[in-house]
Amino acid sequence: MELCSRAEEIGVLNCVDLEDPDISRSVSLVKQACLDSGFFHVINHGISEELMEEVFVQSRKFFALNMEEKMELLRNKKNRGYTPPLDEKLDATNQADGDYKEGFYIGIEFSEDDSQSEKPFYGPNLWPSEDLLHGWRGTMEQFHQEALRVARMVARLLALALDLEAHYFDKPEILGQPIAVLRLLHYEGRVSDPAKGIFGAGAHTDFGLITLLATDDVPGLQICEDKDSQPQVWRFVKPIKGGFLVNLGDMLERWTNGIFRSTLHRVLMGAEERYSVAFFVEPSHECVVECLPSCCSDANPPKFPPVTCERYLTQRYQETHKEVPGL
Closest to 155 in 3D by CA, of 14, 16, 300: 16
**pLDDT interval class at 2 (50, 70, 90):** very low
What is the C-alpha to C-alpha distance for residues 151 and 146, in angstroms, rounded to an integer? 9
Burial class for 313, CB neighbours closer than 10 Å (0-12, 13-18, 19+): buried
- For residue 165, the model assigns a pLDDT of 96
More reliable by pLDDT, 266 or 294: 266
Domain assignment present for 197: yes
- For residue 223, the model assigns a pLDDT of 95
The mean pLDDT value for 116-138 works out to: 93
Residues 77, 276, 200: CA angle, nearest 5 degrees = 80
What is the domain-level CATH number for residue 107? 2.60.120.330
**pLDDT interval class at 8 (50, 70, 90):** very low
Domain count, the chain: 1
- For residue 325, the model assigns a pLDDT of 42
Domain assignment present for 241: yes
Residue 242 has pLDDT above 50, yes or no: yes
Burial class for 218, CB neighbours closer than 10 Å (0-12, 13-18, 19+): middle
Residue 4 has pLDDT above 80, yes or no: no
Could you give the percent of the chain with pLDDT greater than 70? 95
What is the C-alpha to C-alpha distance for residues 323 and 138, in angstroms, rounded to an integer? 30
**Kind of pairing between the strands at 288-289 and 221-224:** unpaired
Residues 15, 17, 22: CA angle, nearest 5 degrees = 115
Interval 308-320: pLDDT, tens: 999 999 998 888 8
Chain-wide mean pLDDT for the chain? 92
Q: Would you tell me how many other CB atoms lie within 10 Å of the CB of residue 283? A: 27
**pLDDT interval class at 189 (50, 70, 90):** confident
What is the C-alpha to C-alpha distance for residues 61 and 132, in angstroms, rounded to an integer? 10
What is the C-alpha to C-alpha distance for residues 289 and 88, in angstroms, rounded to an integer? 25
Residues 174, 326, 288: CA angle, nearest 5 degrees = 20
Residues 67, 277, 124: CA angle, nearest 5 degrees = 65
Interval 55-112: pLDDT, tens: 999 999 999 999 999 999 999 988 899 999 999 999 999 999 999 999 999 999 998 8
Domain assignment present for 326: no
Domain assignment present for 127: yes
Domain assignment present for 149: yes
Interval 146-187: pLDDT, tens: 999 999 999 999 999 999 999 999 999 999 999 999 999 999
Domain assignment present for 153: yes
Q: Which residues of 79-114 are buried (b: 16+ CB within 10 A; e: fewer)?
A: bbbbbbbebbbbbeeebeebbbbbbbbbbbebeeee
- For residue 326, the model assigns a pLDDT of 41
> Domain range for residue 120?
7-320
- For residue 11, the model assigns a pLDDT of 57
Domain assignment present for 300: yes
Domain assignment present for 91: yes
Do 171 and 255 meet the contact criterion of CB atoms below 8 Å apart? no
